[in-house]
Amino acid sequence: MTGDHVFMRVLIVEDEVTIAAPLADGLEREGFEVARVANGAEALAAPEPDIVLLDLRLPDMDGLDVCRRLRERSRVPIIIVTARGEEADRVVGLELGADDYVVKPFGLRELIARIRAVTRRSEEPLQHATPLRVGGLEVDERARRAFTDGNELDLTPMEFELLAALARDPGAAVSRRRLLHEVWGTSWSGSSKTIDVHVAALRRKLGDPGWIETVRGIGFRLRST
């Protein structure tokens, strides 16, 4: 795999050297270009990377504040990497605009799969060159823009990926497993809460929760009309 990611710049925001150093070494061995900072102020002052790996426990400010401030000014993909696995932290992090949430300890291979999932939008060919239209909803995968009744939606990268995955087959029930694979690049069932948070955010942003229906025991579907 070495060399595949040579142009992907990763910013690690982590104050524990015993965690940051081996993580950086592992990513560099896989071809990533890695920069490390140890606090929130340095993270906010750093040149914008291709992806941010963000710890929540930082010496100068809460990582959630860093996440919020990064998201206010940029669409850079953010993966929260932390020992704080409480559901409240997970939900808040995703609602603030993080694209994924990985709880320590984790395997390097799993983390790289998550990185590829949240950044592959610029690496993979588009599945639909023409916009997907479902009633008043339009999803333009080529431009990575979505609209309802002509009004553009302000979506995070993974919210867009999730909406696109549902819009490709409106009216069809899409399983959680399929969404985890297509959107997050993983089959790990522990990521299921991530789907729920993103669906909740999408429903709010669509302005009508009825756009995305829950299919009990299976997953979700985008209404077809």
- Give the domain ranges of the chain: 9-122, 132-222
Higher pLDDT, 224 or 7: 224
CB contact set of 1 (below 8 Å; sequence gap of 6+):
30, 31
Residue 85: pLDDT band with limits 50, 70, 90: low
Is 0.85 topped by the overall pTM?
no
Secondary structure E strands in the chain: 9-13, 33-37, 51-54, 78-82, 100-103, 132-134, 137-140, 145-148, 151-152, 174-175, 212-215, 219-222
Among candidate residues 112, 213, 99, 107, the one with its CA nearest the CA of residue 160: 99
Q: Is residue 188 pLDDT above 80, yes or no?
A: no
Residue 125: pLDDT band with limits 50, 70, 90: very low
132-222 CATH fold = Arc Repressor Mutant, subunit A (1.10.10)
Higher pLDDT, 34 or 155: 34
pLDDT of residue 222: 97
pLDDT of residue 192: 67
Q: Is residue 48 pLDDT above 90, yes or no?
A: yes
Least confident of 6-20, 76-90, 134-148, 171-185: 76-90
Render 18-72 in DSSP notation, one character per residue: HHHHHHHHHHHHTT-EEEEESSHHHHHHSPP-SEEEE-SB-SSSBHHHHHHHHHH
Least confident of 37-41, 47-51, 58-62, 184-188: 184-188
Least confident of 42-46, 187-191, 200-204: 187-191
Higher pLDDT, 134 or 102: 134
Which whole number is the average pLDDT over 120-124? 55
Which whole number is the average pLDDT over 15-25? 95
Least confident of 89-93, 136-140, 213-217: 89-93
> Tens digit of pLDDT for each residue in 130-180?
889 999 999 998 888 999 999 999 888 788 889 999 999 999 999 998 888
Question: DSSP assignment, residue 78?
Answer: E
122 to 79, 99, 117, 144, 201: CA distances (angstroms): 17, 15, 11, 10, 23
Q: Is residue 2 pLDDT above 50, yes or no?
A: no
Q: What is the CATH number of domain 9-122?
A: 3.40.50.2300
Q: Is residue 55 pLDDT above 60, yes or no?
A: yes
